[in-house]
Structure formats: C-alpha cells, structure tokens
Amino acid sequence: MHKNPIIIANWKMNGLKAEGLEIIRALGNYARDQKNISEIVICPPFTLLFPIAAALGDLKLGGQDCSAYEKGAHTGDISAMMLKDAGCSHVILGHSERRQGHNEQNEMVREKSSRALEAGLTAIVCVGETLEERKQARALEVIGEQILHSLPKISSPANVIIAYEPVWSIGTGLVPKDSDIAEVAEFIARIAKGVRIIYGGSVKSGNAAEILKLNHIAGLLVGGASLDAGEFWRIINSANIHA
C-alpha cells in the first residue's frame, strides 16, 4: 500500500517565515528533476503552516501537535480541524518533548490522536524509552504500554504511523545499535499489525540509509537535520534508494 519510505521533517520551535520558505524553495529546486521521490511531510511551527502550505508543491504538510478537544474555551490550543483547514494531512503526537516537557500521559495522547483521526489527519504517534528504562531492560515493556494506551480504537494502518524515537537519542547525536532498532521495530510490528513504523532520533545523512535497510522500518522522522535543506535532501535521497 505504501511503496516509498515516508520522510517527516519536525522543525520543532525553529524558523521564522523567511527561513522556512527558503528551506521549502530549496527542497523544491532539489525535487524538480526527481522522478521517484519519497513521501515527504514538513511539520513546521504553527505560525508557518499557511505560508508554507502555499509553497509546498508536491510535499505534504503536518502539524507538531493538536488539542485533545474539538473546539471551545482552550486558550492557546490548536484543534485538529484547524490543522486540516491549514492544509495539513499529518500531525505528530506524543513526542517525548511533549510527554516530558508538558507532562502528556498516554491517555492524553490517545485523546489527541482521536481528534486527529476524526478530522481526517494521519496521526504520527511517537513512542520510545528513556536511557534509564533501556538500562533496566524495560524498553519493550514501556513501548508496549505506550502503544496500548496511546492509540485510539479507530486506529488503522491507513490513518496511523508509529514513530519509534528513543528519548535518549533525540538531539544527542546518539543512535541505538541497528540490532536494538530492529528489535523494537519487530516488537511494534507484532502488536500493531500493518501500521507503518518509522525511526527518529539523531537521524542524519550518514546513518539514514543503514536505518532504512532494517526490517519493518518504513521511513524516518528527522529533527534538526531537516532544518538544513541540503542535508535533508541527502536523507531523502537515502530513502529513494530504498523505494
């Protein structure tokens, strides 16, 4: 159903309008002569959704979070329908920076995912263990609980992607051994049958191709490296090799 790898850029809280549009224009120039291109989703800050939507071309747009509520008196929140209205097809949910920095529990992630699916968005649900949990050999237990309690009942392979992001690898330059990534991907594939599994955590052009060779890995969630158009394009090219 999904032949090509999916490559998702998470810009986090980075980029003003001029910077964001410059990255998008550069990616468009790189992509102009590319025939077999991966599915690419750009997830900028909320303030850049509308200007980037107008400049995306064949790229797709995603949000970095959405509210657990459909609408109402929730100052500062952004609803899933608002993301859809802005041109989004995807939304990242349950990222460890939200789980830790905003104390989002699995149940909150599930409610947000429900709103996303109801709005017709694809939910990119992030799971992953801390370094302490890995040292305690609890990685699979923690990830299993996150999947069990973070995915709504209406989840399906058509509307959910699971992103495995070990918390200790995000932004640190540390990447798990291939065997560790493969073990987690195999585990996720057994309990979330048919759902696309992607990897995130210090992804760069130097390791992207090797990660994409692993069984069950159908794409990448790229953080800091996606803010450099040239580096991000090299990662995309790594994915095209595996298309």
Does any domain span residue 153? yes
CATH number at residue 166: 3.20.20.70
Q: Structural domain of residue 211, as residue ranges?
A: 60-66+77-226
Residue 33, in any domain of the structure: no
Catalytic-role residue among 39, 95, 97, 129: 95
pLDDT one-digit tens code per residue, 147-173? 999 999 999 999 999 999 999 988 888
In-domain check, residue 110: yes
| Whether the predicted pLDDT of 3 surpasses 80 | no
Cα torsion for 38, 44, 48, 51, to the nearest 10°? 0
Q: Per the domain annotation, does 6 fall within a domain?
A: no
Query: Is the whole model's pTM more than 0.85, yes or no?
Result: yes
30 lies in a domain?
no
Residue 96 lies in a domain: yes
Q: Is 165 a catalytic residue?
A: yes
Decide if 65 contacts 78 (C-beta within 8 A). Answer: yes
Residue 1, pLDDT > 50, answer no
What is the overall mean pLDDT for the chain? 94
When pLDDT is averaged across residues 228-232 and rounded to a whole number, the result is 97
Residue 70 has pLDDT above 70, yes or no: yes
Burial tier of 177 (Cβ tally within 10 Å: 0-12, 13-18, 19+)? exposed
Domain contains 104:
yes
For 8-45, write each residue's pLDDT tens digit.
Answer: 999 999 999 999 999 999 999 888 777 666 899 999 99
Residue 240, pLDDT score: 74
The answer to the question of residue 240 being in a domain is no
Question: For the chain, what is the domain count?
Answer: 1
Q: What pLDDT is attached to residue 32?
A: 79
Q: How confident is the model at residue 98 (pLDDT cuts 50, 70, 90)?
A: very high
CA-based angle 150:145:239, to the nearest 5?
70
Catalytic annotation, pick one of 39, 97, 133, 165: 165
Residue 35 is predicted with a pLDDT of: 64
Establish whether 95 is a catalytic residue. Answer: yes
What pLDDT digit, counting tens, does each position of 126-145 carry? 999 999 999 999 999 999 99
Q: 43-65, pLDDT tens digit by residue?
A: 999 999 999 999 998 899 999 99
